[in-house]
Amino acid sequence: MGLLNFFAKITRPWEVHLLKKDGSRESSGTQDRPGAIAGIILGITDPALKIERVMYAGKPVSRTGFEDLVADAHILNYFTEIAQKQGLPIATLIERGLNKAQSKAAYVEVARRTSKTLGVKEDQVFDLLMRRLSRGLAGIAKQQTP
13: Cα within 13 Å, side-chain hemisphere? 16
Tell me the mean pLDDT in the region 29-49.
88
Question: Higher pLDDT residue, 15 or 96?
Answer: 15
φ/ψ region of 59 (left if φ > 0, alpha if ψ in -120 to 50, else beta) reads beta
Tell me the mean pLDDT in the region 12-18.
88
The beta strand positions in the chain, using DSSP E, are 14-20, 25-27, 49-56, 59-60
Calpha distance 81→4 (Å, rounded): 40
Q: φ, ψ for residue 44 (rounded to 5)?
A: -95, -15
Calpha distance 13→56 (Å, rounded): 5
pLDDT of 17 over the 50 cut: yes
Domain around 110: 3-142
Write down the pLDDT at residue 143: 80
Tell me the mean pLDDT in the region 39-61.
91
The predicted model scores a pTM of 0.82
Could you count the other beta carbons within 10 Å of the beta carbon of residue 44?
19
Each residue's pLDDT tens digit, 63-85 = 999 999 999 999 989 988 998 99
Number of folded domains in the chain?
Answer: 1
Each residue's pLDDT tens digit, 96-126 = 778 888 888 989 999 999 999 999 998 889 9
Which amino acid, residue 10?
I
Write down the pLDDT at residue 68: 92
Write down the pLDDT at residue 62: 93
Q: b vs e for 3-29, b when ≥16 Cβ sit within 10 Å of the residue's Cβ?
A: eeeeeeeeeebbbbbbbeeeeeeeebe
